[in-house]
Amino acid sequence: MSIKIVSIVGSLLALNATAQTNVVQKLEKIKNATPRNVIFILTDDHRYDFMGFTGKVPWLETPNMDKLASEGAWFKNAFVTTSLCSPSRASILTGMYSHTHTIVDNQAPDPGNLTFFPQYLQGAGYQTAFFGKWHMGNDTDAPRPGFTHWESFRGQGEYYNPVMNIDGKQVIYKDSTYITDLLTEHTINWLKQRDKTKPFFVYLSHKAVHAGFLPAKRHKGRYKDKKYTLPVTYDQTKTGAYRDLKWPEWVAQQRISWHGVDYMYNSNADMNTMVQDYCETLLGVDESIGSVMDYLKKEGLDESTLVIYMGDNGFSWGEHGLIDKRHFYEESVKVPFLVRCPEIFKGGKVITKMVQNVDIAPTCLELAGLKKPENMPGYSIIQLLKGDETGWRDRIFYEYYWEYEFPMTPTMFGVRTDQYKYIRYQGIWDRNEFYDIQNDPNEIHNLIENPGLQPVIKKHLMDLNDWMEKTDGLKIPLKKNSNYRNTDFKHQKQY
């Protein structure tokens, strides 16, 4: 790949307007620990089961993800705590829930008082580098705390001809430079030039595979004749069957909206074509993993470096008549999660215990020989990789806060165990949901009215209440906004 930099606008951008003033706490060290190199690869809106080896989409090829799974571990039950870009990214970087870090939606800026875990790594002598999508607020691409080297862009960025901020300098790429390839090449170049006397941490944060999907030119058309099999919950809000199944009304109403199958992104787009584009865009990410792994192997670092591949949230492709994310159904909240490190564990592992985005920070801290700070509720996954399930969580909690820009999806809270899922809505006159996901994995039969289950449902509600109370979640953080809601075709250009 040749990248031509046609113009460098040299002036140093103003330092981040939300520059952090907090002092980074010194973390306690783990005795006799040797700091390990870590590469964290994050993708955007890649759902958990769209990988070749799962068999979900028979024609989808992801050889490098498949290899990562067969040589490492596949966490089948990996979740985000909020299924949305900015809140999830903030949870990964801070190890905190959305209601604690307060970046509750895609407009919310960094409040300026957060510590991102790479700051702790820097304190432990690491070289750290960030490449790609940050997306906390849309106003700046300036370097954020915690990174020795910084390459990012504003908000969602662009698939082609991106404008990057590289260590404070604006660089404009032309000649059809493709963002996935650019980020990968720069990651490898940085690894080549790093100070080899120090451990490294790389955060490679892809823009792909976010909508509007644009694959690399070499992948365009690869799947043009392929058909996507619609999910079993595609039709019920059209036929009216959802009423007997006790689905909430908001789900039926969302069918004809920005996030529904009958008016996707307020257009008459064809789902099959969109799935093809999504899968073709994913091929670039898969190749990116391959390039990074090839570099590690060539350098003799592939046995010792811990590599994580993860998604920032899931994605619905027609389930419950919905597209995109935000809600607490499985395909929205589950993410791909692959880990490889032959020095720690033997490959081919499938781990079923539930892990979450808030586990990334404690995991990376442990790999750096540091004990996690008290404000991180997650756990290091290293014990699971070593086969120790002692004391691991048996439930996960979920929160999503209604966004003015996307009024179709209500505020919701939830709890999920291996057997049940309870979803409770706030600020809307509608029914809650309770599914037996062990016997009804497609979440078809809402059992919320089942008389015999009321004690079980109440127990889930009490667990949820306790979680919110204990984690200081009863004060919902509101954010100022003064936008039209562009996604609401019913109420256009209205404040």
**Candidates 26-34, 39-47, 229-237, 452-460; binding stretch for Ca ion (CB under 5 A):** 39-47
Of positions 20, 41, 43, 45, contacts Ca ion by CB under 5 A:
45
Q: How far is the CB of 44 from Ca ion (least distance, A)?
A: 4
**Does 171 engage in binding with Ca ion (CB under 5 A)?**
no
Q: Which is nearer to Ca ion, 45 or 403 (CB)?
A: 45
User: 359 by DSSP, 3-state: which?
Assistant: helix
Q: How far is CA 33 from CA 112, 158, 299, 365, in A?
A: 32, 41, 23, 11
Q: How far is the CB of 448 from Ca ion (least distance, A)?
A: 29
Q: Which is nearer to Ca ion, 164 or 209 (CB)?
A: 209
The DSSP 8-state label assigned to residue 218 in this structure reads G
Q: How far is the CB of 359 from Ca ion (least distance, A)?
A: 18
Q: How far is CA 62 from CA 281, 288, 295, in A?
A: 11, 11, 18
Query: What single letter denotes the amino acid at residue 71?
Result: E
The residue behind tokens 């307007």 is: 17
Q: How far is the CB of 151 from Ca ion (least distance, A)?
A: 19
Q: How far is the CB of 185 from Ca ion (least distance, A)?
A: 23
**CA gap 340, 297 in Å, rounded:** 13
**Candidates 82-90, 157-165, 228-236, 461-469; binding stretch for Ca ion (CB under 5 A):** 82-90
Q: Which is nearer to Ca ion, 121 or 136 (CB)?
A: 136
Instruction: Name which of 79, 85, 46 is nearest 405 in CA terms.
Output: 85
Q: Which is nearer to Ca ion, 85 or 202 (CB)?
A: 85
Q: Which is nearer to Ca ion, 52 or 314 (CB)?
A: 314
**Candidates 4-12, 63-71, 310-318, 352-360; binding stretch for Ca ion (CB under 5 A):** 310-318
Q: How far is the CB of 48 from Ca ion (least distance, A)?
A: 13
**Does 44 engage in binding with Ca ion (CB under 5 A)?**
yes
Q: How many amino acids of this chain bind Ca ion (CB under 5 A)?
A: 5
**Candidates 38-46, 113-121, 196-204, 219-227; binding stretch for Ca ion (CB under 5 A):** 38-46
Residue nearest to Ca ion (CB): 85
Of positions 42, 69, 85, 279, contacts Ca ion by CB under 5 A:
85
Instruction: Name which of 248, 314, 254 is nearest 278 in CA terms.
Output: 314
**Does 105 engage in binding with Ca ion (CB under 5 A)?**
no
Of positions 287, 312, 324, 488, contacts Ca ion by CB under 5 A:
312
Of residues 331 through 350, those in contact with Ca ion by CB under 5 A are none
Of positions 43, 94, 107, 313, contacts Ca ion by CB under 5 A:
313
Q: Which is nearer to Ca ion, 171 or 338 (CB)?
A: 338
Q: Which is nearer to Ca ion, 237 or 313 (CB)?
A: 313
- b/e sequence 212-230, b meaning 16+ C-beta within 10 Å: ebbbbeebeebbeeeebee
**Candidates 77-85, 97-105, 199-207, 476-484; binding stretch for Ca ion (CB under 5 A):** 77-85
**Candidates 27-35, 143-151, 275-283, 304-312; binding stretch for Ca ion (CB under 5 A):** 304-312
Neighbours of 25 (CB within 10 A): 13
Q: How far is the CB of 180 from Ca ion (least distance, A)?
A: 15
Torsion of CA 60, 63, 68, 74, to 10 degrees: 20
For the beta sheet containing 433-436, the strands, ordered from the edge strand earlier in sequence to the opposite edge, are 396-400, 411-416, 420-426, 433-436
Torsion of CA 456, 459, 465, 469, to 10 degrees: -150
Helix, strand, coil percentages (3-state) for the chain, rounded to 5, are 30, 20, 55
Using an 8 Å Cβ cutoff, are 38 and 308 in contact? yes
Q: Which is nearer to Ca ion, 20 or 152 (CB)?
A: 152
Q: How far is the CB of 88 from Ca ion (least distance, A)?
A: 7
Neighbours of 67 (CB within 10 A): 19
Q: How far is the CB of 381 from Ca ion (least distance, A)?
A: 21
**Candidates 40-48, 54-62, 69-77, 131-139; binding stretch for Ca ion (CB under 5 A):** 40-48
Per the structure block, which two tokens stand in for 420? Answer: 């049940």
**CA gap 75, 71 in Å, rounded:** 13
**CA gap 380, 358 in Å, rounded:** 9
* Contacts (Cβ under 8 Å, ≥6 apart) of 444: 232, 233, 236, 245
Q: How far is the CB of 439 from Ca ion (least distance, A)?
A: 30
Binding residues for Ca ion, rule: CB under 5 A, are 44-45, 85, 312-313
